[in-house]
Each structure stands twice: as structure tokens, then as C-alpha cells.
Amino acid sequence: MRLEFVRIEESNDLLNQLIEHHPHSIFLVDYDFKVKYFNKSFQNLTKSDKGDIIGHEFCKIMGCTERGKSNFKGVSFCNNCQLRELLSGSNLSELVLIRDFKIHNKTVTKHLHIDANRVIMDGHKYRLLVIEDRTQKH
């Protein structure tokens, strides 16, 4: 069955509802790896307030314990950060990440499955990421 929409607003509303209520964490980052959009599941995963998410780097939001372990001054990613490679738009489109994160001053090992897709909106390049938190399954 194919849905026919009379107005663009109807299709946008449906898409927004699907994303907002999706069980996996969904977020959009720009070329600086800063979050531009996220759903409720992402907010629950990061245990962050809305104001602490928009405009901030994913690794900072998650409290990645590897963050800042770089040989280069001013670089907030670690030297061999697979997540940075995924976010940068490389050929990598899927990543299984098992890493310690500091959430509310408590170190937690997370098992994350991350899918990334390139998105162009209004001439700007973004990465749309979907995270499945498999921590409870391991």
C-alpha cells in the first residue's frame, strides 16, 4: 500500500512522528561533528538535557572517555577514533563501538551499533546516525 499525501506538511508531520517515536537513537551532525537534530531516544541514551545536546559534539555529549586523547592541540577526538571516521563521511557507514562513557559522573561501558548515512539539506552536508544500544543484550 502506498500513501498519497495532499500536502508536504502531512508528509513532514508523519516523518517527524516516525523519527521521534523510533526506538533507536537518531541524530544529525554537521561538518564540525556538532549535533543539529536528535530524537527522544537519543536524549534518553545520553541522559542529557536538550540544551546540552544541540550544537555540541557527540563525543562530548556522550562523555567518551577517549575524548581528547590526541597528539594534536585543540583536537577533541582521540588519534584513532573510529567514530570521527564515521562522522566525517568516509567510506565507513556502519560501526560497532564498545567503549567507556562517563554519564552523570559514572563510567559505563556501552555496546553501540551505529549506522551512518549522508544527507544534503539546503546545500549543506550532514550525517544522519542511528544508534542501537546493545548494552543490555551483552
24-137 folds as Beta-Lactamase (3.30.450)
Residue-wise pLDDT tens digits, 34-75 = 999 999 999 999 888 889 999 998 888 888 877 766 555 555
Residue-wise pLDDT tens digits, 74-116 = 555 565 677 777 877 777 788 898 888 888 888 999 999 999 9
**What residue segments make up the domains of the chain, in order of their start?**
24-137
Q: Which residues have C-beta within 8 Å of that of residue 110, sequence separation ≥ 6?
A: 62, 97, 98, 99, 100, 101, 133, 135
Q: CA torsion 131→81→51→12, rounded to 10°?
A: -40
**In this structure, what DSSP letter does residue 50 have?**
G
